[in-house]
Amino acid sequence: MDIYLIRHTEVAVGRSVSYGQTDVELATNYVEQRDRILTHLPTETNPSGRPSYLFSSPLNRCRLLANDLATSAEIDLKSVQFDDRIKELNFGDWEMTPWADIPRSTLDPWMNDFVNVGPPNGESFLDLFNRVGAFWEENIISLATKNAGSVYIITHGGVIRALLCLFLDLSLQNAYRVHLDYGSLTKLTTDGQHYTIQYVNR
């Protein structure tokens, strides 16, 4: 089964701001980046690769892309499945705060051990990894064992990195060594037990 992990397109807030589960506006190049994504997905001349299932984070920056990709693939929008477990990391009290404004007394412990330490009233990367793993086990493994066709998952950088750690048995501490562009695709094949990474960050 082919699985396309698709990161949402660029957002209007800069990288200097901590945002995770906040609904932020998209950058003005949304259409351009969306169309570039479409060039890497199966087309009318290759219908066998079209998704049988489409899952998405419910945050607006993923929802819009999910709906557009579903329309392009001629999928009924009612069949798009939105799942809270593939939202981005929850930054809690830091949401929409410039990184430079976060006190070092709380920022440094998180930076030194983001796997186990979360922002105040937020979640650690381990928390994210566990909920993403539960989503995968419940929704994707059963489809893979049935050879249910290809799957699109429209989500966030943190979620895709967590999944790559799961597939490749990587240390969670090294998750952010994997570079992922906005609007990038990562493709893998799986039978539910074994994973083959076709490409990352295309």
The span from the CA of 18 to the CA of 117, in Å, is 16
The span from the CA of 162 to the CA of 180, in Å, is 12
With vertex at residue 194, the alpha carbon angle to CA 49 and CA 147, rounded to the nearest 5 degrees, is: 40
What band does 176 get if pLDDT is binned at 50, 70 and 90? Answer: very high
Name the DSSP class of 130: H
Cα R_g (the chain), whole angstroms:
17
In tens, the pLDDT along 21-80 reads: 999 999 999 999 999 999 998 755 445 557 889 999 999 999 999 999 999 888 877 789
Nearest to 51 by CA among 154, 197, 152, 191: 152
Tell me, rounded to whole angstroms, the distance of Cα 179 from its chain centroid.
Answer: 13
Domains of the chain: 2-199 (3.40.50.1240)
In tens, the pLDDT along 106-147 reads: 999 999 999 999 999 999 999 999 999 999 999 999 888 887
Structure tokens at 141: 């493994």
What pTM does this model have? Answer: 0.94
Number of other residues whose CB lies within 10 A of the CB of residue 44: 9
56: β partners:
82, 154
How many residues in total does the chain contain? Answer: 202
